[in-house]
Amino acid sequence: MSERRYDPTHDEWVTFATNRQDRTYKPPAAACPLCPTRPGGPETEIPREHFEVAVFDNRFPSLTTTPPEPDIAGTDLVPVEPAYGHCEVVVFTDDHDATLASVGTQRIRLLVDAWADRFAALAADPRIAYVLPFENKGEAVGVTLHHPHGQIYAYPDVPPRPAREQRAAAKHRDRTGRCVFCDVVAQETGGPRVVVEGTHFLAGVPPWARFPYEIDIWSRAHVGTIPELDAAARDDLARVLARVLAGYDAFFGIRTSYLLGIHSAPVGGSGPEADPTLGHLHLEICPPHRGEGKLKYLAGSETFGGAFLTDVAPEVAGPRLRAAAADVEVPA
């Protein structure tokens, strides 16, 4: 089964991809499908002995450009449609034991270029409305392949959370005439929640942090997507992201698990949710850790109410992470 079903009770689409039940699950390092294909070794997804960044179609996609017809017929109340879209895998090192925090600023800079290149290519598909690069890192967030990698999903509509951001941005602009994220950057710059100050990007614990040690990285300029960044801004994003991730590992004293997502302007669709002028490029990084040996789980209030309860005040988390990020040695 590979199809999308509309939920009229929440005004959103849910994707079913039962083929993913058979995806590779925690293979031993010797059988890792994301390692290079080396002489005498098993054939992997990447037919090279060495590489820096590799991008390819996900073998177990949730969305595809050639989706099968749905298994059931839709109704007026609950429409059903083929699960059209793109799912790509981005592998950013051939070192199985590395992490994005350890690969160095230059490699992250190359990854920024890869994100920009693939974003532009996927956005050119007229059936795509939103492109979302992301990384799930660590078993604490459910990762089943340990080789450092991320993914890029391209959706036929604007997903619920970005759509909600768009509506909030529209409401703020109608009220003030300004971009809500530009106002956030102006408010947070130089404040107690800042973690890393870059020339083009600002990293900080947002005042509304949903996770105890969440960090958002906001573009200082009103830029909608990564392809719009010039070389200097891309350099700065790589530096800021490298220091944030290295700071996490230094602060927690472990290889930090996290969810990292890049929020961008929509590239299609209709209505205020699709207004590209409302979009403001920012990264959101959410570690599940709330203290030594303690994890933040989404429980009843978050899952059923959508109302997050956070264990650490942003004014406490910000200085802690800022000190860790300032003291850590960041690989070049």
- Whether 198 and 237 have beta carbons less than 8 Å apart is answered as yes
> In the chain, how many H helices and how many E strands?
6, 14
* Catalytic member of 149, 172, 282, 289: 149
Q: Is 147 a catalytic residue?
A: no
Structure confidence at residue 22 (pLDDT): 87
Element (H, E) at 207: none
Structure confidence at residue 292 (pLDDT): 86
Among candidates 217, 230, 223, which has minimal Cα distance to 262? 217
Tell me 160's DSSP state: H
Q: CA-CA distances (angstroms) from residue 139 to 163, 235, 255, 289, 324?
A: 29, 30, 11, 12, 23
Structure confidence at residue 160 (pLDDT): 96
Residue bearing tokens 């809500």: 180
Structure confidence at residue 270 (pLDDT): 85
| Amino acid identity for residue 325 in this structure | A
| Amino acid identity for residue 258 in this structure | Y
For 26-78, the pLDDT digits (tens) are 999 999 999 999 998 899 999 999 999 999 999 999 999 999 999 999 999 99
Structure confidence at residue 89 (pLDDT): 98
Which residue segments constitute the domains of the chain, with CATH numbers given? Answer: 24-59+85-327 (3.30.428.10)
Could you tell me the two tokens for 57? Answer: 């179609």
Among candidates 112, 150, 156, 165, which has minimal Cα distance to 276? 165
Please identify every stretch of the chain with a pLDDT value under 70, giving residue numbers as ranges: none
Instruction: Note the pTM of the prediction, 2 decimals.
Output: 0.97
Could you tell me the two tokens for 104? Answer: 């160095």
Q: Integer distance in angstroms from the first to the last C-alpha of the chain? A: 45
Structure confidence at residue 234 (pLDDT): 98
Among candidates 122, 59, 85, 125, which has minimal Cα distance to 3? 85
- Give the span between the Cα atoms of 163 and 12, in whole angstroms: 10
Structure confidence at residue 318 (pLDDT): 98
